[in-house]
Amino acid sequence: MLLKIVQAGESVLRNQARELSREELRGDEIRRLIEWMRETMRDAPGVGLAAPQVGLPLQLAVIEDGAELQRAIAPERLAERGRRPVPFHVIANPSIELDGGTAEFFEGCLSVPGLTAIVPRALRARVRCLDHEGEEVIIQSDGWYARILQHEIDHLRGVLYLDRMLSRSMMTVEHLTRHWNDLPIVEVKRRLGIGETP
């Protein structure tokens, strides 16, 4: 079953989500929700989907960055982003520690369709959370995977990438694809005058 993805402006995207108990995570209702969120994320397509994005204020997100989503991206851009396939998994009630400096890349969101912007994110993230069985796990991540985790955990705290973006870089996804996608971020920033004093 495909769920409706709510769009920026809905209050559920701007509030702290509530934690789930281990019993809830092991229950049929949340198991069904996880499966529907997986189907919805894959259909979109996206690499992550948080429960607030489907209108539910729960600290729950699904993540998957399959190889098929990366085929259309040039190998040098994948290397620049540190992007490698990530298998499907669930995070619930996460806490996050950031490390390793920052990297800037274009980011989009299923709740802000058609737009994208450069967003600085930490290069590494350590996440402590519960998995789909309610078991505690620790995830060590870097590169694009660390970016996905930061983006989805932001959703659980009422934060959108719009709050973190370099505002001068915002553009349509179509424009990014047509004019900017094959350039290194440093060159995009130079051409857009980002980092220069007005």
**Pick from 102, 111, 98, 172: nearest CA to 141:** 98
How far apart CA 188 and CA 183 sit, in angstroms, is: 6
Which amino acids are annotated catalytic? 152
Amino acid at 82: G
φ, ψ for residue 175, nearest 5 deg: -65, -40
What 8-state DSSP symbol labels residue 160?
Answer: -
- Sign of the Cα pseudo-torsion (29, 9, 59, 165, in order): positive
